[in-house]
Structure 1
Amino acid sequence: MAIAFFIVLLVSALFLQQAALSLFLGILLSYLNNKLSLSPISVNGSLFLKAGIICLGGTISLKSLGTISIDYIPLVSIYVIAIMTIGILIGRAIKLPKNLTLLLVSGTAICGGTAIASLAPIIKAKSEDLVASISLVFLLNAIAIILFPYIGEFYEMTDAEFGVFSALTIHDTASVVGTASLYSDESVTYASITKLGRTLWIVPLLIGASIYSKSENKEYEFPYFILVFIAFVVLGNAFNVDGEIKSYMKYISISLFQIGLFMIGYKFQ
Structure 2
Amino acid sequence: MLSSMTLQPRYRKLLLLLLGVSCLLPMVNSPTALILGFMLANVVGVPHDWQIGALTKKLLSLSIVCLGFGIPFAQAASITIANLPLILGSIIATIVIGTLLSKLFKLERNTGHLIACGTAICGGSAIAAVAPAINAKNDQTALALACVFVLNSIALFIFPVIGHLLSLSQHDFGVWSAIAIHDTSSVVGAASAYGEEALKTATTIKLARALWIVPVAALSAMWFGGNGKLKVPMFILYYCLAIAISTLLPQGQPLYDGLFLVGKRLLIVCLFLVGCGITISKLRTHGSKPLLAATLLWLCIGSGSLLAVLSLQ
TM-score under structure 1 length normalisation = 0.63
Indicate whether 1:139 and 2:139 are aligned.
Answer: no
SS in structure 2 opposite 1:58?
Answer: helix
Greater RCO, CA 8 A, separation 6+: 1
Which of the numbers 235, 238, 258 marks the counterpart of 1:244? Answer: 258
Partner residue, 2:296: none
Say yes or no: does 1:174 pair with 2:189.
yes
* Cα deviation digits, residues 208-228 of structure 1 (max 9, x gap): 3377358748885554xx464
Confirm or deny: 8 A CA contact 1:56 1:229 kept in the other structure: no
- Is the 1:88–1:102 Cα contact (8 Å) retained in structure 2? yes
Segments of 5+ residues of structure 1 without an aligned counterpart are 34-39, 182-187
| Corresponding residue number in structure 2 for 1:48 | 55
| Distance in 1 (alpha carbons) for counterparts of 2:270 and 2:237 | 19
| Contact 2:60–2:267 under 8 Å retained in 1 | yes
User: Could you tell me which residue of structure 1 aligns to residue 201 of structure 2?
Assistant: 193
Map 1:44-83 onto structure 2 (within 5 A).
44-52=51-59, 54-55=61-62, 58-59=65-66, 60=68, 63=73, 64-68=75-79, 70-83=81-94
Partner of 1:184: none
Equivalent residue of 1:196, what SS? helix
The letter for the 2-side match of 1:96 is L
Deviations 1:39-70 (A, max 9, x none): x6412234324423542562446924334175
How many percent identity over aligned positions? 17
Cα distance, 1:165 vs structure 2: 5.0
Are 2:213 and 1:205 aligned? yes
Q: CA deviation at 1:168?
A: 4.4
Cα–Cα, structure 1 residues 55 and 140, in superposed 2: closer, same or farther, change >3 Å?
A: closer
Residue equivalent to 1:185? none
Is 1:13–1:262's contact at 8 Å kept on the other side of the alignment? Answer: no
- Contact 2:150–2:278 (CA<8 Å) still a contact in 1? no
Q: 1:159 to 1:189 in 2, by over 3 A?
A: closer
Partner of 1:255: 269
| Aligned-pair CA distance for 1:4 | 1.4
Once structures 1 and 2 are overlaid, which stretch shifts more, 247-256 or 89-98? 247-256
CA distance in 1, matches of 2:145, 2:173: 30
CA distance in 1, matches of 2:275, 2:214: 18
Unaligned runs of 5+ in 2: 1-7, 132-137, 250-255, 286-313
Question: Residue type of the partner of 2:210?
Answer: I
How far 1:164 moved relative to its partner?
4.9
Q: 1:8 to 1:97 in 2, by over 3 A?
A: farther
In the alignment, is the contact (CA less than 8 A) between 2:38 and 2:278 conserved in 1?
Answer: yes
Change (3 A) 1:90 1:143: same
Partner of 1:37: none
Task: Tell me the C-alpha RMSD between the 2 structures.
Answer: 4.4
1:7: Cα distance to partner? Answer: 2.6
CA-CA distance at 1:205 after TM superposition: 1.8
CA distance in 2, matches of 1:89, 1:81: 13
Note the 1:103-142 alignment, pairs <5 A. Answer: 104-106=115-117, 108-110=119-121, 115-122=122-129, 123=131, 124=138, 126-142=141-157
Instruction: State the match for 1:149 in structure 2.
Output: 164
Which of residues 37, 43, 53 is equivalent to 1:28? Answer: 43
Cα deviations by residue, 1:190-248 (Å, 9 ceiling, x for unpaired): 6752563133211322563377358748885554xx46435524543453383433543
Mean Cα deviation higher: 229-238 or 87-96? 229-238
